[in-house]
């Protein structure tokens, strides 16, 4: 399973970085132009360069899929998303479409070949057996990473492989391949920072918790710093008792990409909470309930100094009641 990180438009690129191509096309395109019916298909068939790029994309996807082995669901889902986004509204910009194809082909070709779990890797291996109650993790970096010294923290990123075991069980339960993982190595420490979500600070490479409140531990793994204001981006995986494995959750991953760092898990009220802002003077805290593994906003607290009144800051509290938002507004003096 491969995860490539980006923020939303980039999540078209989170989706864009992992994508599975569902062939509908024939030579020189990847589908039969005699059966073309949509605007995008006719545009591809009418342009020799696009036809060639479409065929190249199909080949690049097939190659990337073989690199992932048996577990390429994320690649498949991401490619489907990319195919949706490539369909421009109205008149199709052929040159923009060519460029989109070239970019996507480059992303697919850049996906590394992941080793089998038992084979050596060039980078360090971290055995993380104390960060969760239900599972043990082994994080293997495919590339070398500079070790921290005793004077300062260091960071490292690159392709990685996450091996997952049942707690205290030597049998491998699941392997997740990631095109990029970002980790912080605290000074003097033997392993990476984990289970840490301090805002505006380094965050854990893996944060474990029950994010959908079903009694099973889930986790997020930091895949970069493509979030809001250069903040961390995470791939969230929820444990599926039916499948007996962790499954990638796009909605929660996207929530982190759009806000400020990892969300807070409010177990008592069964809510997850995020913080966001716009510049210096607008801050928003939002609470979400989880419906079928999808976060649904139910409460908001907004501090808005951009739309002040008589030198006072506007405070808005919103709550979802019976499917409708109710709002209360008041003004307070600016904090000193």
Residues 166 and 202 in one domain: yes
What does the pLDDT average to over 128-156?
A: 89
Residues 99 and 167 in one domain: no
User: Cβ(253)–Cβ(235) under 8 Å?
Assistant: yes
Structurally, the chain folds into a number of domains equal to 3
What does the pLDDT average to over 289-314?
A: 90
**What predicted TM-score, i.e. pTM, was given to this entire model?**
0.76
Residue 89 in this model has a pLDDT that exceeds 60: no
**How high is the pLDDT of residue 281?**
87
Residues 254 and 268 in one domain: no
> Roughly how many angstroms between the first and final C-alpha of the chain, as a whole number?
50
253 belongs to a structural domain? yes
The confidence band for 169, taking pLDDT boundaries of 50, 70 and 90, is: very high
> Helix H segments across 69-175?
73-85, 94-110
pLDDT tens digit sequence for 27-86:
478 888 888 888 888 889 999 999 999 999 999 998 888 776 545 667 787 888 888 877
Residues 92 and 204 in one domain: no
The confidence band for 322, taking pLDDT boundaries of 50, 70 and 90, is: very high
Cα angle value 104/110/113 (rounded, 5°): 130
127 belongs to a structural domain? yes
Pairing relation of β-strands 206-209 and 218-224?
antiparallel
Of 80, 110, 140, the position where a domain reaches its end is 110
What does the pLDDT average to over 189-209?
A: 92
Residues 143 and 233 in one domain: yes
3 belongs to a structural domain? no
Pick the closest to residue 217 from 265, 271, 277, 155 (CA basis). Answer: 265
Q: What are phi and psi of 252, to 5 degrees?
A: -75, -35
142 CA to centre of own chain: 20
The confidence band for 291, taking pLDDT boundaries of 50, 70 and 90, is: very high
How large is the C-alpha radius of gyration of the chain? 22
CA–CA dist 245, 250 (Å, integer): 16
The confidence band for 271, taking pLDDT boundaries of 50, 70 and 90, is: very high
| Average pLDDT score over the chain | 86
The confidence band for 264, taking pLDDT boundaries of 50, 70 and 90, is: very high
Beta bridge partners of 184: 155
60 belongs to a structural domain? yes
Pick the closest to residue 131 from 183, 74, 171, 179 (CA basis). Answer: 183
The enclosing domain of 147 has a CATH number of 2.40.128
Residues 226 and 286 in one domain: no
What domain range includes position 294?
A: 263-336
**How high is the pLDDT of residue 88?**
62
Pick the closest to residue 130 from 200, 184, 191, 186 (CA basis). Answer: 191
Residue 171 in this model has a pLDDT that exceeds 70: yes
Residues 154 and 65 in one domain: no
Q: Is the dihedral of CA 143, 146, 148, 153 positive or negative?
A: negative
Residues 157 and 253 in one domain: yes
Residues 245 and 326 in one domain: no
Residues 255 and 267 in one domain: no
The confidence band for 245, taking pLDDT boundaries of 50, 70 and 90, is: very high
Q: Which residues contact 242 (CB under 8 A, 6 or more apart)?
A: none
67 belongs to a structural domain? yes
Residues 177 and 307 in one domain: no
283 belongs to a structural domain? yes
Residue 5 in this model has a pLDDT that exceeds 50: no
Residue 186 in this model has a pLDDT that exceeds 80: yes
Of 259, 291, 322, the position where a domain reaches its end is 259
CA–CA dist 172, 66 (Å, integer): 21
2 belongs to a structural domain? no
DSSP 118-178: TS--SS-EEEE-SS-SSEEEEEEESS--PPP-SSS-EEEEEEEEEEEEETT--SEEEEEEE
Range in 7-11, 172-176, 204-208, 210-214 the model is least confident about = 7-11
276 CA to centre of own chain: 17
Residues 192 and 171 in one domain: yes
User: Cβ(266)–Cβ(252) under 8 Å?
Assistant: no
**How high is the pLDDT of residue 6?**
36
What does the pLDDT average to over 259-283?
A: 94
Of 77, 110, 143, the position where a domain reaches its end is 110
**How high is the pLDDT of residue 252?**
96
1 belongs to a structural domain? no
The confidence band for 137, taking pLDDT boundaries of 50, 70 and 90, is: very high
Residue recorded with tokens 């960071």: 155
């Amino acid at each position: 399973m491969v995860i490539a990180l980006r923020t939303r438009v980039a999540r078209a690129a989170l989706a864009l970085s992992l994508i599975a191509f569902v062939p509908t096309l024939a030579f020189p395109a990847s589908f039969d132009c005699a059966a073309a019916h949509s605007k995008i298909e006719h545009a591809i068939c009418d342009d020799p360069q696009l036809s060639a790029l479409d065929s190249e994309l199909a080949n690049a996807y097939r190659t990337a899929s073989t690199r992932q082995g048996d577990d390429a669901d994320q690649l498949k889902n991401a490619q489907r998303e990319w195919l949706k986004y490539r369909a421009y509204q109205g008149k199709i910009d052929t040159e923009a479409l060519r460029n989109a194809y070239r970019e996507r082909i480059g992303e697919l070709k850049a996906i590394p070949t992941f080793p089998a779990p038992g084979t050596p890797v060039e980078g360090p291996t971290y055995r993380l057996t104390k960060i969760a109650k239900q599972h043990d993790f082994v994080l293997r970096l495919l590339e070398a990473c500079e070790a921290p010294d005793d004077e300062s923290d260091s960071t490292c990123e690159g392709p990685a492989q996450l091996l997952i075991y049942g707690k205290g069980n030597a049998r491998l339960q699941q392997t997740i391949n990631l095109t990029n993982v970002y980790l912080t190595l605290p000074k003097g420490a033997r392993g990476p920072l984990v289970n840490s979500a301090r805002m505006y600070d380094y965050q854990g490479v893996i944060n474990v918790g029950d994010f959908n409140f079903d009694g099973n531990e889930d986790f997020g793994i930091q895949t970069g710093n493509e979030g809001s204001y250069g903040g961390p981006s995470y791939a969230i995986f929820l444990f599926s008792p039916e499948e007996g494995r962790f499954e990638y959750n796009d909605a929660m991953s996207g929530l982190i990409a759009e806000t400020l760092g990892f969300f807070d898990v409010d177990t008592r009220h069964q809510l997850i909470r995020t913080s966001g802002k716009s510049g210096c003077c607008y801050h928003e805290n939002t609470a979400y309930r989880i419906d079928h593994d999808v976060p649904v906003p139910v409460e908001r607290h907004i501090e808005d100094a951009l739309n002040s009144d008589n030198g006072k800051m506007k405070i808005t509290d919103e709550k979802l009641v019976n499917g409708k938002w109710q709002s209360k507004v008041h003004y307070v003096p600016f904090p000193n």
